[in-house]
Structure 1
Amino acid sequence: MAPAAAAAAADEDDYEDYIPVSKRRATEAGRLRLSKPAAPSPLPPPPPPPTDDKHSLLSKNAQLMRDAPDLTATEQLILQEKEILSDLSDLKPLVPVGQAAKGITYTEPLRTGWKPPLRLRHMPCAKADELRRRWHILVDGDDVPPPARDFRDLRFPEPVLRMLREKGIVQPTPIQVQGLPVALSGRDMIGIAFTGSGKTLVFVLPLVMVALQEEMLMPIVPGEGPFGMIICPSRELAKQTYDVIEMFLAPLKEAGFPEIRPLLCIGGVDMRTQLDVVKKGVHIVVATPGRLKDLLAKKKMNLDNCRYLTLDEADRLVDLGFEDDIRGVIDHLKSQRQTLLFSATMPEKIRNFAKSALVKPVTVNVGRAGAANLDVIQEVEYVKEEARIIYLLECLQKTPPPVLIFCENKADVDYIHEYLLLKGVEAVAIHGGKDQEERHNAIEFFKNGKKDVLVGTDVASKGLDFPDIQHVINYDMPAEIENYVHRIGRTGRCGKTGIATTFINRNQTETTLLDLKHLLMEAKQRIPPVLAELVDPLEDAEAIAKESGVKGCQSCGGLGHRIADCPKRERQNSMAMAASRRDHFGGGGYRGEM
């Protein structure tokens, strides 16, 4: 064989068939799988649940419904209310984030240097209970301090007692009889009393004593403070509370006691003047939530030494949307504090919410929360929409000035103000759309008697004290009965009597009118025919109240409906939905103070 032929034969013997790429990859993958350790065999799937082919899920559900105990309509309503209340009460506790993060829980209230006189400390419980029954005071809590019927028993300095006598305050009111000993003892407190009952003194005088005690033990240095705070829902109420504090501080300073510096911390005022007081060292702060939060966020003031916190008109603060601002303020507190909450309308859900921040709280209740002042004569008139402005002039003739007129919206306030000026009536107006100087001047002119009529929105109804008001006119009935109670409470204050005239027509909902009807019945007032004809949709209202233990609505305190039909709850839900919609579409913005 030739050499060339022998080489070709050898090449043919070494020839290998061509293997496609896909096949080579599959072979390599198989080799790698064989080289890996074998994975444990998976567990066998659980056996399917036994099924009964004879019955479907729908038939089983129907069987369960048949086996369930039958509930009456009343029981179903009470069950529904419990579910709604559980949703409303699902709120974060009102405690500083630092305290919550460290898991700190206070079990004992703060101690103060005040003690009641020996004869009060040794007062038998039966006698204390008898005094409370006589003054119509309801208390709830452990180790409640005894009531005090005389300001001298409360051991105030002589300048304070002298100022009380000069103002004609010779005997404590029911809320002061029990509230002052509780606050002076350092106990956390929820105070509920009708408008004009003297709640302001219950938290102002103990705060003045706390500041005086701290200053005498260790004088404050520049940049320090405050020792205590009072937070109010409106600028006007904050200014009024600040004036009351100054009224008692002036005679104390004249008598040789250490100087106590208060600070009014509200929006619409130059912040530099407020910072000047802070730099000197401030003992007491009276504030609205917005401006106070700004000062704390900018580190212009700290709350390291703050041990006394009061929320005036506490339920209104939450209702007006200041809850987040208040939480932001409380987050700056460094240690335990004494907390007091006051209002004339304190619904059950707000009380439950507040108790999360209080230590062994004492609830002092004078009358039903949300009840109208019994010293006010309530007159309700059916007036057509177009005739209200004419009838308003007739109502102004019922009593001599000063007179308060309330409206729901700012446009009506401006319209009525202009109309009265054209008719020659000396009137001023106030609402949230006016700047701070206009609002301040309107209040001052009205209080000083330079103007006869004040027209305003509900911004003027929260806690403001006008001692000589004899007549309040509601140009329209507010949708929420709480606002009505606050409005008419501007008259009939401090034991005086007053008149409240309210215009109603077809624009009001039946729920609102039913609330008004039940409020008039509770106060034993005359029921106009248009309200008397209304039929309560809850036929067994008394039975429901007896079985549930709660009369009326637990959200707003209205007696004409239950919580499931509460207009206030519906409004809050609508506001929450609107806020979430604005956030989703990038809207929203800064919300100013009332």
Structure 2
Amino acid sequence: MVETTDQPAPSSATYSKRRRSPTPPPADPYALPDDEPVYVPLKQRRAQLIEKLSAKGGGGGVTAAAEKRKHEEETEEREQRERDEAEAKRKKREHQTLLMEAQEVKRLKAIEDAAKSEQQKREEEEAKILAAQAATRTTLAGAEEIAKGIVYTERMKTSWQAPHYIRNQSEEEHEAVREKFHILTSGDDVPPPIPTFKDMKLPKPLLEYLKKKKIEAPTPIQLQGIPVAFSGRDMIGIAFTGSGKTLAFSLPLLMFALEEEKRMPFVQGEGPVGIIICPSRELARQTYEGLQEMARLMEQGGYPQVRALLCIGGINMSEQGQTLSQGFHMVVATPGRLQDMLEKRKFTLAQCKYLCMDEADRMIDMGFEEDVRNILSFFKTQRQTLLFSATMPKRIQDFAQSALVQPILVNVGRAGAASLNIIQEVEYVKQEAKMVYLLECLQKTAPPVIIFSDNKNEVDDIQEYLLLKGVEAVAIHGSKTQEEREYAIKSFKSGKKDVMVASSVASKGLDFSEIQHVINYSMPKEIEDYTHQCGRTGRAGKTGIATTFVNMQTPEQTLLDLKYLLMESKQKVPPFLMSIEDPNLDANGKPIGCTNCGGLGHTIRNCPKLEENQRRTMAGIGRGGDSGGGGY
């Protein structure tokens, strides 16, 4: 029997009223617990560590290590970026045509050029011009030496020594003498300067000769240059016009010739001991006559006879036949005639150990470089080489040193600067008024006076005009015969003629000791020519006046060169020159100057000398036009 209870059975209504708690969502298997720390990158954690240690003010070693790790990470990231960029460029090149590459190169160059300053562009352009010039030049040496690779490294030795008391002086004492006379030297083991001719150990006849010439003490270039030459050293000598450079290289040659003759007398076919090469016939004759006079006085004083040979164009070499037949010690020559004599085997350079080039930069610049190189090919042994000039730019100095062995540079004043003994006056004169104004200028000083013009026809016109006005005048230029030129020089030097009208043939090296006034009828295009022309006055310590005519036909860059030269020489600068502005100034407002010719009013980009040399090269002109027959 089933037992029943009194409780009712559950109905569906009862289940519907009961509340149920919400079912939680399923758990995320990848979710982190609440107490798990958040991930911080390694780089950030290291940075926090460094910051924490820095804040505490300790742990220097740990900080340094951390810094090192940081630097390594940055380096690694940078290298990775570079690898990525390189890879990107490689992929880009794979899909790039040659035309696209060229356009990209152009674009990058344009950006680079825009970033460069004007000064950088100028310097790069000038460097290219200098490099192009240097590439056209070969070493200034003989063909055999170049072919065989002969390079002399040991300097020449001589028997001369400075006096004992001078050798015992300290280098500081020698430098004090150089500073006193404004002498700059460079090179190894520079011989000491000697302030008197007697201490140079010159023979008594030469001392009397110098005294007779009123040369009491050596000029700065002689004071340092003669000891250098006596020591057998190669040398580059730079000094003002009229400062006695000729004596500085003539005296050593004479003494070497006397020494060789005394050791073993010369006979037929022997000689010479040394050669002096000059760019013009007149300068060569002047140097030859000076050597002849000194040699004659030495012979009268009981010393052996030494003979000199003159080799210039325009003279009959039969006049020199007796000298050639006896044997001779010294040669003074122009490049062309000397080369011709050597090729015809009239004499040899087997015993020659002394070579001097007067106005060396002019010979190298004006087309004689190849002639000089051919002459060097006739030397059989090492020689002592000396280069002298008043204007020798750094470019020529660097090139000339290729032929020298451990050379010594002796510089008195800036190369190309005018002598401080000359009063330079600049007059603005219209072209049509020059002739009339010329007569007024002649009244400034007593004769003799030299008038320079760069045009041969103008030289003849000026002479004719002066003769019509009753002025005793002679003319000299490259188209005159040798007899006419020698007559002009002799009559002018002797005082028979008051005025000499000349082209640039008379501007280099010629010594007219009594000239008080030089008139530059036309301003030379090259400032070096102006310096040489003005240098015919104010010689040997005397003063002189140089008057220069300029007008609208004078190029502006030439006027700028003239302006800076006047300022450098502390001369009065006319207002019309001061008003000319220089477009080529450096950051300090100073003139940049030309590395080719040394002019301060232009750069190598518009150098008149460079333009003239290029014109000559293109025209195939071998030897410098109105150089006075120096070529032959």
TM-score, normalised by the number of residues in structure 1: 0.87
Equivalence for 1:129: 175
1:519 aligned residue: 565
Aligned to 1:365: 411
Partner of 1:61: 105
Match of 1:324 among 355, 370, 382: 370
**Deviation (angstroms), 1:258:** 0.9
The match for 1:269 is 315
Give 3-state SS (helix, strand or coil) of 2:373's partner: helix
Q: Show the 5 A alignment for 1:19-418.
A: 51-53=94-96, 56-62=100-106, 64-65=108-109, 68=112, 70-90=115-135, 91-418=137-464
CA contact (8 A) 1:89 1:352 kept: no
Give the CA deviation at 1:162.
1.3
**What is the deviation of 1:322?**
1.2
Distance across 2 between alignment mates of 1:335 and 1:58: 55
Q: CA deviation at 1:89?
A: 2.2
Aligned to 1:579: 620
Alignment of 1:348-497 (within 5 A): 348-497=394-543
- What do residues 117-166 of structure 1 show as CA deviations (whole Å, max 9, x unaligned)? 11111221111111111110000100000110011111111111111111
Pair 229,542 (structure 1): closer, same or farther in 2 beyond 3 Å: farther
Distance 2:351 2:96 in 1: 72
Query: How far 1:63 moved relative to its partner?
Result: 5.4
CA distance in 1, matches of 2:616, 2:235: 30
For 2:256 and 2:95, locate their aligned partners in 1 and report how far apart those are by CA, in whole Å: 74
Aligned-partner residue type, residue 84 of structure 1: I
Structure 1 position 335, deviation (Å):
0.4
Q: Please give the alpha-carbon distance, in whole angstroms, between the structure 2 residues aligned to 1:482 and 1:63.
A: 44
- Deviations 1:436-480 (CA, angstroms, capped at 9, x unpaired): 111111111111111100000010001000011000001100111
CA drift of 1:49 comes to: 11
Superimposed CA distance per residue, residues 510-547 of structure 1 (whole angstroms, 9 cap, x where no aligned partner): 111110111111111111122111110124374676xx
Query: Which of the pair has more CA radius of gyration?
Result: 2
Q: Supply the AA of the counterpart residue of 2:408.
A: V
Amino acid at match of 2:602: H
| SS of 1:277 mapped into structure 2 | helix
Name the residue aligned to 1:534. 580
Q: Distance in 2 between matches of 1:306 and 1:559?
A: 40
Partner of 1:562: 603
Asked whether the equivalents of residues 335 and 630 of structure 2 are also in contact (C-alpha less than 8 Å), the reply is: no
Asked if 2 retains the 8 angstrom alpha-carbon contact of 1:369 and 1:557, the reply is: yes
Q: Which runs of 5+ in 1 are unaligned?
A: 1-47, 546-550, 583-590
Q: 1:443 to 1:542 in 2, by over 3 A?
A: farther
* CA-atom RMSD in angstroms: 1.9
After TM superposition, give the deviation of residue 555 of structure 1 in Å. Answer: 1.2
Deviations 1:281-300 (A, max 9, x none): 01000001111111111111
TM-score, normalised on structure 2? Answer: 0.82
User: Are the aligned partners of 1:74 and 1:544 in contact in 2 as well (CA < 8 Å)?
Assistant: no
Residue identity in the other structure for 2:124 = L
Separation in structure 2 between the aligned mates of residue 567 and residue 358 of structure 1, nearest angstrom: 28
Identify the range of structure 1 (55-64 vs 482-491) with the bigger mean alpha-carbon deviation. Answer: 55-64
Runs of 5+ in structure 2 lacking a partner? Answer: 1-90, 623-628
Q: Is the 8 A contact 1:196 1:494 kept in 2?
A: yes
Q: Secondary structure at the match of 1:105?
A: coil
Over the matched positions of the two proteins, sequence identity in percent amounts to 55
Deviation by residue 1:197-255 (Cα, 9 ceiling, x = unmatched): 01011100000011111111111110111110000010100011011111211121011
State the shift of 1:64 in Å.
Answer: 3.4
Runs of 4+ displaced beyond 4 Å = 66-69, 541-545
Shift of 1:481: 0.4
The answer to whether the Cα contact below 8 Å between 1:275 and 1:300 also exists between their aligned partners in 2 is no
The amino acid of 1:538's aligned partner reads: N
Aligned residue for 2:403, secondary structure, equals coil
What per-residue deviation string (whole Å, max 9, x for no partner) do you get for residues 534-585 of structure 1?
A: 110124374676xxxxx511111111011111111011111111118x9xxx
Secondary structure of the 1:56 match is helix
SS in 1 for 2:94: coil
Contact map agreement 2:230 2:252 (CA 8 A) in 1: yes
Q: Secondary structure at the match of 2:345?
A: coil
Alpha-carbon separation, structure 1, partners of 2:429 and 2:589: 35
Worse-matched range after superposition: 59-68 or 485-494: 59-68
AA aligned opposite 1:88: Q
Give the counterpart letter for 1:85 in structure 2. Answer: L
1:94–1:356 Cα contact (<8 Å) kept: yes
